[in-house]
Amino acid sequence: MFDKLLTCGVVSAALRGEYLIARSIIRHKQPEWTENKTRLFAVRVVSFTHALVSALGCIFSLLTDVNYVREPYDYHKANAEYVFLFSMGYFIYDLLDMWIHGELESSKEYLVHHSLVITAFSIILFSGRLFGLAMIALLVEVQTVFLHLRTMVRLVYGSKHMPASIDVLINANMICLFLFRHLPVCYLLFYLLAQDVKVPILLKMFLVGGLTFLEYHNTHLTIAMAKSDGFFGHERQALDEDSCDPLGSLKKEEEQKTTEKKSERSTRTAKKID
């Protein structure tokens, strides 16, 4: 118990250190960037690190031991716990980071998402069950690697013309969105609702509810990226620091309302001129 808490604490502290270092480097390299843009890029650097480490750990575990898929409820392996502890450390860090910067009020979807993940992983670690289901769910981090790379690239280029090679990243991000977000969640929902006979009913209800919320989150993300990146009939948009991240702006709720009011005024003025 103490070892697990210590591991989460060490991970959270290390990621906080990475954030501060990234922010310092960005300020030095891009002094013309706004505070909001600098923070957003630094936040995504840390998120990218979490996604990359978690994705590699998850893929390695699944490829070297197929029992996670064969026995998703019963199978347990001690070294896989470190993958979950690393992710829990990140989500704890991210919640604290948003609280420190006063962003929790404008990040309710993040709050629900992180709380569900921390609760689910805690149940898995303390019960020694559901490791296979969690490993399959963690495949989402494969797509998240591309998601954060895409956001950082669009932050750097802004409304400028991007090289053709960036299209490869943007297309890979959308393809992986379906392969590693929608597909695993839908499979897990099918498994729990149609195939499983071992998961206790109350735990099953919690898992189904959590996975349903995650699929809602994935759908919201898909729609946002389709509109901004030019998929399914939409034209690719020139994005600024407030709109380039499909996960949402990091601005506080009051700042977002002010920005929206300014946007509405600009629209009204433009209509009057027309």
| Model pTM score | 0.82
Q: Which of 3, 1, 94 is nearest to 46 (CA)?
A: 94
Residue 237 backbone phi and psi in degrees, to 5:
-95, 150
Whole-number pLDDT of residue 229: 80
The CA distances from residue 265 to 27, 239, 240, 258, 271, in Å, are 32, 20, 18, 11, 10
Whole-number pLDDT of residue 239: 66
Residue 250 backbone phi and psi in degrees, to 5:
-90, 0
Tens-place pLDDT, residues 123-181: 888 888 889 898 999 999 999 999 999 888 888 876 567 777 788 888 899 999 999 99
Q: Considering its fold, how many domains does the chain have in total?
A: 1
Tens-place pLDDT, residues 93-126: 999 999 998 887 777 777 888 888 898 888 888 8
Tokens in use for 228? 């901004």
Other beta carbons within 10 Å of 6: 11
Task: Give the domain extent around 59.
Answer: 1-271
Q: Is 268 a residue whose pLDDT tops 50? A: no
- Residue 33 near residue 240 (C-beta atoms within 8 A): no
